[in-house]
Structure 1
């Protein structure tokens, strides 16, 4: 909203200094600072409100050190993240930008699913929460919306091979203009390969001529799968104080770098990557989101004063997935969100192996002492703050390696 005000002051009233608000970097910095202030200052008030409403965590008997002491700690802290993200976005971002709209919808959509799940657990006293099938329906619904918009919206375009074309040309009037080569495409990026662009439509090449018009049959299911997988991965990672928020902040910050360079024609040309028009505006959202996550860590670090609950974890996963898809870096998710991946895999392997051995030997056996993986290390006697710190370090290493793929091919 403030963006439009300052745009009016600059272009209509010609007020000196208001033009600086046109820069993404300025608005991103303001969004980050405001988000950080909102999450730290008003976060305490939200926690106090949750305490008055007796929104306390019910702790299962897991046999983990320090677990019982967490009983009664306020949950639904994801409301802090959502609030501290959306307010700066509404103030500083271009609200007509298709990518910003998608991210706002994602935040509200996944936040609602998580809120309903937490509400059922707390107020209905049902530890199972929202039935899994309804969660999946919600995730699939969001995937359909995101996939459909990204595929069919004329506002979503890319410019490929920026390093092989002239970005600017000089006309006879000596006016510098951009070369119009933007196009609709389902192309994405394959990390670590030199010619690293892959078009989902190619999977339908066997159908004959005109196969590109059916690319949505591949693209939309891929979007649904990624959103579902990443949101569930974030949900499983949220098990000990500060783990999900800290690792997510690192991943989102890396995505912010990808978003900024992909949305800037000069940087995308220098790095020889896809230029995605208008995607740079997502940097404002990312800055606000990172500020909210860091501010939330103020209260969620060990010993936690509040838990994010599914309200926060599902929202975080959904946002990360949509960001990666929008910036055409979804194939980097296994690397960039490696913590989410191993947490997911640890549960899948544990359950699958237990069922297999029970069927074959009559007694279920386990690979890990407990799953998800962070609980395995707790069972081994590691303090949860040590586990979290080491997971953060791994997340930083994975983020750096992901950023390196911009040049390492």
Structure 2
């Protein structure tokens, strides 16, 4: 919105053109989301406490988690509000990629909100029935995938970029829709599964958003994309604003979510953030690299799949508890140690993912 005001102000003084620079707008978007989250956070936590919107804890989980019972949840509303406000202020709202991404943010946020509402307000332990949750996630993802495929204007927008190989970019055709679907839905649920300890999911989310911001910037710049042998997709660099907003909102939320957490994000936050990372990776054509960048999310998801599969096929569990962060807790690792070590692993994986830009 402010970019339109900037265009109007430039007729009086060209100095206002500085507000149109992508880098400056990204910084301002990050700071806007950060300050909004930090300033509104305490009031929102008090409000959630008054409404008695508290976290429920699994009976079969680590005993240390029992003290988390009643901690305010649905803090993801704060994250999404900060992201949306910041993006609407600083992004170019004529850019279709911005609206595609915001569709995922809002759509998946609503699905997560309904799930949380049923769990903590209506006291329905199951929340939104799994098949209904996946159905709505699927409808939103498929709608976005079909829109992107139908409106693709260049072969680069539907090509699969294979990391480490500069000349390997096969055309996906209609299989593009399948790739978009699994990337968005898979990423959404992977972040959701990871959100089990204080600050465990939000820091990797921030790190991955930072890496995707770099991919978006170079993919939308014809000089950088040509130099790095990646597809050039005009206007996709505007997604840097959204990545900056995610980083700012995430850091602001971490202020209250760090151990010991004062608030949890809930499904409203984790589903929306995961889906947003997925759609950004799709738009910058880095679905495979997202698997590396979000390796922690992948590991957490695989641990659940392995645990369930092993129990159904062999009647035995591979881990003491899944997702895998609970396994380490039950082995005696203090929660802060699990969290920080997972953060370190996430940082390493993000750096490896970024290395694919040059190692081709």
**C-alpha offsets along residues 242-297 of structure 1, whole Å, 9 cap, x if unaligned?**
00101111111111110011111121122222111000001011101111011110
Note closer, same or farther for the CA distance 1:269–1:305 as it changes in structure 2 (3 Å cut).
same
Secondary structure of the corresponding residue to residue 128 of structure 2: coil
Secondary structure of the corresponding residue to residue 241 of structure 1: coil
**C-alpha offsets along residues 108-143 of structure 1, whole Å, 9 cap, x if unaligned?**
100000000000001211111001111111111121
Q: Is the 8 A contact 1:157 1:277 kept in 2?
A: no
TM-score, normalised via structure 2 length: 0.97
- Name the counterpart of 2:359: 408
- Name the counterpart of 2:128: 130
**C-alpha offsets along residues 66-115 of structure 1, whole Å, 9 cap, x if unaligned?**
21110110000100110110101101101111110011111110000000
Q: Answer 1 or 2: which has greater helix percent.
A: 2
Q: Is the 8 A contact 2:293 2:350 kept in 1?
A: yes
Runs of 4+ in 1 over 3 A off after TM superposition: none
178, 185, 189: which is aligned to 1:221?
A: 178
- Name the counterpart of 1:368: 319
Number of matched pairs: 360
Distance of 2:42 and 2:61 partners within structure 1: 30
231, 239, 252: which is aligned to 1:295?
A: 252
Distance of 2:19 and 2:143 partners within structure 1: 31
- Name the counterpart of 1:28: 26
Distance of 1:36 and 1:194 partners within structure 2: 37
Q: Superposed, which structure 2 residues align to 1:32-181 within 5 Å?
A: 32-153=30-151, 156-158=152-154
Secondary structure of the corresponding residue to residue 201 of structure 2: helix
Unaligned runs of 5+ in 2: none
**RMSD, aligned CA:** 1.2
How much does 1:145 deviate?
1.9
Q: Is the 8 A contact 2:156 2:232 kept in 1?
A: no
Larger Rg: 1
Distance of 1:248 and 1:30 partners within structure 2: 20
**Does 2:141 align with 1:190?**
no
Unaligned runs of 5+ in 1: 159-182, 201-214, 358-363
Secondary structure of the corresponding residue to residue 264 of structure 2: coil
Distance of 2:207 and 2:339 partners within structure 1: 13
